[in-house]
Amino acid sequence: MTATASDAAPAVAHFRFFALEVLRTRRLGHSFLRVTFGGESLADFRSGGYDQSLSLFLPPAHEERTVLPSTDEDTWFGAWRAMPDADRPVMRSYTVREQRRTPDGVDEVDIDFVLHGDPAAAAADAAAPASRWAGRAVTGRRIMAIGPAVAENKSVRFQPPAGTDALLMYADETALPAAAAILDRLPAGMRVAAWFEVPHADDRLVLPTLADADITWIVRERGAGKERAERVLESLRAAGPPDAEAPYVWLAGEAGTVRAVRRHVVQECSIDRRAVRFTGYWRLGASEEELLAEAYAGKAADEDSASEL
């Protein structure tokens, strides 16, 4: 998950800094790598579950660990922004895939990274620094993060109202960890229609859930020549609108595709736009640094339930 406007400068009122240490890594599929973090400070970490996000500060390629000039609530952001470009840690937002305490009393947090290309390639440092860092992560590497100190916080966006009788979901690979965490926590029998878009066939992960979930996988390598949004909309239209009185819609991924899917569910499926939660994790043709710059300037509109279609 990458940064959105609301993530650019996280408030520390309900959030605090955490020191994270890599405990282990595990490859999940062609494009996914799970990094499990530990650290004494995680005893105070309070994930709200579902699509809980946090902001990671990843060190530049020439550093082994994250170094921040300040972690003070009032000064950290300005101090971080004032760092020289070559030394400033990269800030990226990711989803908490799972938080747990082991039988030995160790607090752990899993974060799933999408790997882009060859993490060892020099070009990955500039084009996909988070992918580069994750691909080279080894036990003992340390980073800093801003995460939730209370479970009820604004970085949990999945908020279905009481009475919801069905869930419609769309996620691409950047939002799949969030979607998987949502499915983990849904009650037994909740009806779910989900469309998950991934780059490769072996990115179709096993997603445990008690819900009555109908998952459609959209594999991009099989749909060469079609626009991203076109492939997704074809699949949604083939299924038709959900048979539900009070559906709730959760959409996350590439911003242009998310907007197209939102337009479809509101205009073609006649779902109340107030029941649609949508988030653009990234935008095709724009670098993460460009999106962050827009967020700092207050120009980004990656999620806005009241915006015009």
Question: Which amino acid, one-letter code, is at 210?
Answer: L
The single residue listed with the structure tokens 């990843």 is 58
Residue 221's pLDDT is 77
What does the pLDDT read at residue 62?
87
Confidence band, pLDDT 50/70/90 cuts, at residue 122: very low
Query: Residue 291's pLDDT is what?
Result: 65
pLDDT at position 222, please? 67
SS3 at position 167: strand
pLDDT of residue 7: 52
C-beta atoms surrounding 29 within 10 Å: 19
- In tens, the pLDDT along 139-174 reads 999 999 999 999 999 999 999 999 999 999 999 999
Q: Which residue has the tokens 């590497």?
A: 141
Q: What is the rounded CA–CA span in Å between residue 3 and residue 190? A: 30
Alpha carbons 194 and 71: distance in angstroms, whole number: 39
Handedness of CA 50, 108, 213, 189 (dihedral sign): negative
- Is residue 99 over pLDDT 50? yes
Which comes out higher in pLDDT, residue 127 or 128? 128
Q: How confident is the model at residue 186 (pLDDT cuts 50, 70, 90)?
A: very high
| DSSP H or E run through 123 | helix 123-127
In this prediction, residue 48 carries a pLDDT of 94
Q: What domains does the chain contain, in order, with CATH numbers?
A: 5-148 (2.40.30.10), 166-296 (3.40.50.80)
Residue 225 banded pLDDT, cuts 50, 70, 90: low
State the pLDDT at residue 306.
Answer: 32
State the chain's mean pLDDT as an integer.
87
Round to whole Å and give the CA distance between 295 and 289. 10
- Per DSSP bridges, beta strands 107-114 and 142-148 are unpaired
Contact 122/70 with Cβ under 8 angstroms?
no
Q: Which of 109, 249, 229 is nearest to 179 (CA)?
A: 249
Q: Indicate whether 248 pLDDT > 60.
A: yes
Cα(11)–Cα(19) distance, rounded to whole angstroms? Answer: 17
